[in-house]
Chain A
Amino acid sequence: DSGVTQTPKHLITATGQRVTLRCSPRSGDLSVYWYQQSLDQGLQFLIQYYNGEERAKGNILERFSAQQFPDLHSELNLSSLELGDSALYFCASSYGQIQETQYFGPGTRLLVL
């Protein structure tokens, strides 16, 4: 158990809908990272927050947004969902930033029908 929790574990929804994925980092960690893992694209970095501020952006679509709240938990919002958004979404946390080990949550499996 990494200490990072993600909810929900599974999510099934329809195209065009909006969902919110939630992540609670390990106690004391200030950074939260979001990743998308799919069979065709591999593991893609989406976005990173550090102590409430956005620090790095990867291949995140405009339909996706995220935020980190004062209690350091984070939410990833996916809107206008398409079939191709079906994937495993991981959250990871670390105390600091670039040289720190990331601790990954178990992931949220999203299926868009």
Chain B
Amino acid sequence: AQSVTQLDSQVPVFEEAPVELRCNYSSSVSVYLFWYVQYPNQGLQLLLKYLSGSTLVKGINGFEAEFNKSQTSFHLRKPSVHISDTAEYFCAVSGGKGTYKYIFGTGTRLKVLA
């Protein structure tokens, strides 16, 4: 069965500092990987996704993620965060044999400090 683990529930970081939000997945077959962001009082929106090809994926708002098959990870990074990046970030996995399920992680709350 597939699963997604987001290792940090909260990440505080100062403005203009780099940040990495960690995501590990478990699956016995090839999967598709996603990062979504949820701003306060809003629905989720896609930041980026990995379907195949280049393991470095660039998304919106300066975020990028690297797919690492050997470590089954898909960590999200941004070299310099802004106050406006304060939000909850969800890693998700879909695909796999015999399932249409879309599995979300528990989320990481990013708090950018001035």
User: Which of B43, B94, B100, B102 touches A2 (beta carbons < 8 Å)?
Assistant: B43
If A90-B43, A98-B94 touch, whether A48 touches B102 (CB-CB below 8 Å) is: yes
A:30-72 near B, CB below 8 Å: 33, 35, 42-43, 45, 48, 50, 55-56, 58
Kindly state the separation between the CA atoms of A101 and B44 in the bound complex, as whole angstroms.
11
B100 A56 Cβ-Cβ under 8 A:
yes
B45 A99 Cβ-Cβ under 8 A:
no
Taking the nearest CB of chain B, how far is it from the CB of A16, in angstroms?
29
Kindly state the separation between the CA atoms of A106 and B44 in the bound complex, as whole angstroms.
8
The dominant DSSP class at the B interface is strand
If A2-B45, A43-B90, A56-B99 touch, whether A99 touches B51 (CB-CB below 8 Å) is: yes
B103 within 8 A of A: yes
A107 within 8 A of B: yes
User: Which of A33, A105, A106 touches B102 (beta carbons < 8 Å)?
Assistant: A33
B102 A107 Cβ-Cβ under 8 A:
no
B residues whose Cβ falls under 8 Å from a Cβ of A: 32, 34, 36, 42-46, 49, 51, 90, 94-95, 99-104, 106-107
